[in-house]
Amino acid sequence: MSENAIVIDDVTKIYSTGALEVQALRGVSFTIERGDYVAIMGPSGSGKSTLMNLIGCLDRPTTGRYTLDGIDVGTLDDNALAAIRLKKLGFVFQGFNLLSRTNAIKNVALPLFYAGISQREREKTALAMLGEVGLGDRGTHKPNELSGGQQQRVAIARALVNDPAVLLADEPTGNLDSTTSVEIMALFRHLNESGRTIIMVTHDPETARYAKRTIRVRDGLVVSDERSDTVPSALEVT
């Protein structure tokens, strides 16, 4: 297996809605190593979400190659893509997207359910995962009984519960106030320091500062790709 978690090679994405064609990605190439922490930035409509959807195996590129954890994803059918999402990827959304009817443990356990793991095992693992994001005592709370930051932590626990190769987050702090955002970023930092590969889309330069590397896109092209030296440590957070 390669050292690279993700290899994107000259990927394009064209949306055709009727007569109109939108070139959302015009040929993007980059490589993300295992253990890296990447922020993707760019103006609205530049193609960040499109890129995340491709990396997340929710969509397929129009042309180009995408290799995830050594697997050429382009050759896979829908069920195989679902299996990749289940085992190799974890999603964190801007709007948390928890199931409102069910409590935190069940939400976190959901991927394990689809992985066919027994209920006892599921709840045990889910509870441990909640502990890891600092919500060990909130397992039986429903999403509406949790703060926004806590909900996002539950979502992060859910994304991590299957021990994925890559954690994907599209504007994870977009719905949070600045204090809570900092908490979530501290959690991300901590997760990255313990070896998780993270890719995060953000508008906010402050948030992007927590990442080790920033890829900027504009009009469907990568315009810059730089490593930052001044990464704030998790302890620096106030």
Partner 1 sequence: MLTQIGPFFSEAFAVLLGNKTRSLLTVLGLIIGVAAVISIQILGKGMSGAVTGVLGTLNDRSFFVFPNSRQADVFKAAIKYTDIAKTTSLFPNIVAALPAGGVQRLMTAGHHHARLSLTSESDIAFATVPLIYGRNLSADDIGRSAHVCVLANNGYKRLFPDGGDPVGTSVRVSERRFIVIGVQGAPTAGIVPTNFGGDVLIPYTTFVAEFLRTRPLFAAKFLVRDPSEIGATEVAVIKYLKSIKNGRSEYQTFDRRSFSSSIDGIFTALTLVVSLIGAVSLVVAGIGIMNIMLVSVTERTREIGVRKAIGATSGQVLAQFFIEALLLSGVGCGIGLVLGLAIGAAVDRFALVAISGVVPEIPWVQSVVIAVGFATIVTLVFGTYPAYRAARLDPIEALRYE
Ligand X SMILES: Nc1ncnc2c1ncn2[C@@H]1O[C@H](COP(=O)(O)OP(=O)(O)OP(=O)(O)O)[C@@H](O)[C@H]1O
Interface residues toward partner 1, by CB under 8 A: 53, 56, 58-59, 78-79, 82-87, 89, 91, 93, 97, 99, 101-102, 110-111, 113-116, 119, 158, 162
Q: Roughly what angle, to the nearest 10 degrees, separates helices 178-193 and 148-160?
A: 20
Residue 232 DSSP code: P
End-to-end CA distance of the chain: 39
- Does residue 15 touch ligand X according to CB under 6 A? yes
- Does residue 47 touch ligand X according to CB under 6 A? yes
CB 174 within 8 Å of CB 201: no
- Does residue 173 touch ligand X according to CB under 6 A? no
For 103, other C-beta atoms within 10 Å of its C-beta total 20
Paired strand residues for 11: 28
C-beta of 7 vs 115, nearer to partner 1:
115
C-beta of 102 vs 228, nearer to partner 1:
102
DSSP string, 142-154: -GGGS-HHHHHHH
Pairing of strands 197-201, 37-41: parallel
C-beta of 59 vs 219, nearer to partner 1:
59
- Does residue 49 touch ligand X according to CB under 6 A? yes
Q: Which two tokens stand for residue 224?
A: 């810059």
C-beta of 116 vs 195, nearer to partner 1:
116
- Selection from partner 1, ligand X, Mg ion, none that 17 binds (CB < 5 to 8 A by kind) is ligand X
Contact mark string toward ligand X, 23..42, x via CB under 6 A: -x-----------------x
- Does residue 22 touch ligand X according to CB under 6 A? yes
Distance from C-alpha of 145 to C-alpha of 162, rounded to nearest angstrom: 25
C-beta of 53 vs 67, nearer to ligand X:
53
Residue 43 DSSP code: -
Q: Roughly what angle, to the nearest 10 degrees, separates helices 148-160 and 104-114?
A: 20
Amino acid, single-letter form, for residue 230: T
C-beta of 50 vs 192, nearer to partner 1:
50
- Does residue 49 touch Mg ion according to CB under 5 A? yes
CB of 218 to ligand X, least distance (A): 9
Residues that bind ligand X (CB under 6 A): 15, 17, 22, 24, 42, 44-50
